[in-house]
Structure 1
């Protein structure tokens, strides 16, 4: 079924690769619980739903596409869901889930067409890299804010936090540990930093040691099928729906490109290779299913690369990863006891990793339109607490400068369509 011999692998190698992928992305279960809880969703239900969608999406991905790609709730869009939509735009979380559902439906429809090729060829690579870097700066800013390392200031808008507070110091320790472990490429670097930081915090009285470590999974009834699709069907929310769609698509394609290069997957010169198309289809269907369970956008995880480095080459790696995640369903007491400042440093490190995409843009050879567009995308996402605003401003400025310089050959239907939607984002 998985064609192990054809991919020069075996069951034991796939098992080892699946466990490695599990260790590197296990952090998403407690982290997503904290992030969506800030939007008002019950953390217990979110933790269970996150584990469930990770199991289901990764299992489906492995069986459907036969690739070692694991899937879970995407970092970046979950932060945008909570802090941009619910807390920033005052959109009820039920409506926000409706937005995720609609973007997922659109992704499902488009994943069965050539839209993927069209959108990738329409939007300049430099702007796509700027979007990734902008999301990185956005979630890093959120992490620093949640840790208290950055606070609001009526005179300067933001200023440095009070580092004499024990909670902030715990966050600094967590940040140092996360950076250190990741720089040494330790398997499970993030979950290891969370565990050690939590123990330090509990020792010094920030939170308390869990009374128990395992329990039955919490019910997801409070968030199951609670999405409000009717309210999401609003013209004013169209730019947000498109933002979720495009960001998920870029995120997934970027991840698959990076992982595929290492595993010799998704080769464009092989017309019989349908794995990319099937992985995109799995991603789209997982996003739609996730919104029904009560979580934000699901996407392919770059942590899948760790399993590939261990030799994982087929969907059996993803199947094993999904099976290992079953254990997280029973770890709620442990996840609930974790202090917030042991969790939020992970957002900062992930943000830094995404921000490095900016280094791939050659600003010396780029024209003003690209430089200005990329700059506004990156700077406005954290400053306005909105991925939508960053993308909208970037594409508007890019198109305006191109038109002003009569460089119409650099504009196409795709860019003009996104520019028009960007215009709607501001006037609506």
Structure 2
């Protein structure tokens, strides 16, 4: 059965190898369940229901991709856009979380429709690869800034906007400890480094009395009736929110394409024009629609899938195993609820480190690219808005290309994206 469905011999792999790879991917990304729930619950959405929704979305999306696309790529709620959902839209722009879910739903529906067209190719050809890298790096800085602020390492200051926090505060020191643990485990390439860091930091917090002990270990999953199908599309369909919708759409596409490129390079998968890439994009888009329906922000492919690929995973069976293992996370609610915030926020900083590393691939010898990339990346954390960063980057890139008469860098795509970007400033 497995051979017929996943073509194991054709991919030069075995069931045992795929199972081991799926377990490895699960360990690498299971942190997303408590982390996403902690982030999105700050919007007023119930934490218990977000745990269930995140786990269910991960299960459905990952198994869907495994069967539909037959690729070893796991999917879940994307880091970066979940932070933007919470801190940029709900807290920053004071948009109700129902409207924010409507924005995610619209972007997902557009992505799903466009996944069956040549639009993906058009976007890839329109947006310079270096700007795409700058977007990833900027989101990394945005997430890290949120993590450092949440830890108390960075605090408000009326004179300088931000300054160093109080390192006499035990909770701040706990966050620093959590970061050092996560960074050390990551540096040693320990499997499941992030979830291990959360566990170790939580145990230290419980021992030192910096967090409440869990009331239990296992419980039945919480229902999701208060968040499922509560998206508000009508309120999201305004001209002022068009740049935000485009931000979610473009970022999701770039995340997925970048992830597939990274995984493909490691394992020799996804050759140019491969049908597997197209079907993975289709599954990713469908997953975002499912996620918005169940009450989570944008779902995307996870780069942690590379951990499973390095273990030998080559087919969708790896993803199916990963998805099935996530069923276990539905029953650990008491443990998740007892995790201190400062065991979670250091993981945001580490995810920021991973995304920020894209800067090394940008060609800063090109003046137009250098300035546009810098503006894109820097404005995201400084304005607390991924939309502003992306919009400014497109606008600056187009202006500089015109002024330098670099008309080979200009096409209908760059013009269109720059015009949409202008809306972000007009309606800000």
TM-score (structure 2 length as normaliser): 0.98
Q: Which of 59, 65, 70 is the equivalent residue of 1:61?
A: 65
Deviation (angstroms), 1:395: 1.2
Q: State which drifts further: 322-331 or 203-212.
A: 203-212
Q: Distance in 2 between matches of 1:50 and 1:149?
A: 28
Distance 1:114 1:121 in 2: 11
1:150 pairs, out of 138, 143, 154, with 154
Alignment of 1:4-403 (within 5 A): 4-268=8-272, 273-363=274-364, 365-367=365-367, 369-403=368-402
Separation of aligned partners in 1, 2:362 and 2:406: 20
In 2, the alpha carbon distance for the partners of 1:277 and 1:161 equals 46
Q: Distance in 1 between matches of 2:407 and 2:304?
A: 40
Distance 1:261 1:61 in 2: 19
SS at match of 2:314: coil
* 1:231-261 CA-partner distances (Å, limit 9, x unpaired): 0011110000000000000000000001012
Tell me by how many angstroms 1:129 deviates: 0.5
3-state DSSP of counterpart to 1:186: coil
CA distance in 1, matches of 2:369, 2:126: 14
Alpha-carbon distance, 1:40 to partner: 1.1
Provide the secondary structure at the position in 1 that maps to 2:228.
coil
Structure 1 gaps of 5+ residues are none
Alpha-carbon contact 2:363-2:369 (below 8 Å) kept: no
Pair 1:426-2:425 in alignment: yes
- 3-state SS, counterpart of residue 156 of structure 2: strand
Q: Which runs of 5+ in 2 are unaligned?
A: none
Query: How many Å apart are 1:318 and its aligned residue?
Result: 0.5
The alignment of Structure 1 onto Structure 2 pairs a total of residues equal to 423
Give 1:362 shift.
2.5
Secondary structure of 2:6's partner? coil
Secondary structure of residue in 2 paired with 1:38: helix
* Rounded Cα–Cα distance in structure 1 between residues aligned with 2:301 and 2:89: 22
Cα distance in 2 for partners of 1:356, 1:15 equals 30
Distance in 1 between residues matched to 2:409 and 2:11, nearest whole Å: 41
